[in-house]
Amino acid sequence: MELFAKLVLGLALLVAIVFALLVLVTGKGDAMSGGGSVRTSFKGKASFDDIISKWTLYMGVSFMGLVLLYTVISNRLTASEGIAPMPSAQTPITPESNKPAEGANTPAPTPSPEASKPSESANTPAPDANTPATK
């Protein structure tokens, strides 16, 4: 199935290149005419414009069909391999590492008034800290 998907993708790329070259080489007037010009009811030999217009239509339709087929095949391959599809915009993505810890939203316990008092000797200098050095 994977080989088939690669073949479809390669064929779609080939059709896209031929389609782009067809449009670029022939110019917008020839390749993108769409058959809107005045035609007679006479069914003679097709002109160059008619042939290019027909080829442009075929290339565009085949490219769209091949890309659609590739999308369906690649979605089935990813589903069969167990790869989860992209989540929709409504489902939030929360990895395990970003989840809050247990009890993360509980308030911290308030300290007692005794614990918040500074100690008696917190602001007193050490006994020999400010004395000049002796020789």
How do the domains of the chain map onto residue ranges?
2-35+47-80
Give the C-alpha separation, 87 to 78, whole Å: 14
What's the confidence (pLDDT) of residue 100? 66
CB neighbours (10 Å) of residue 101? 6
Sign of the CA dihedral with 75 first, then 78, 80, and 84 last? negative
Q: For the chain, which residues score pLDDT lower than 50?
A: 30-31
What's the confidence (pLDDT) of residue 30? 47
Residue 106 C-alpha from the chain's centroid: 38
* pLDDT more than 90, % of the chain: 20
What's the confidence (pLDDT) of residue 127? 63
What's the confidence (pLDDT) of residue 103? 65
Give the C-alpha separation, 18 to 52, whole Å: 12
| Entry field: residues in the chain | 135
What's the confidence (pLDDT) of residue 23? 82
What's the confidence (pLDDT) of residue 47? 80
State in Å, rounded, how far the first CA of the chain is from the last one: 93
What's the confidence (pLDDT) of residue 53? 84
For helices 2-26 and 48-80, angle between their N-to-C axes, nearest 10 degrees: 150
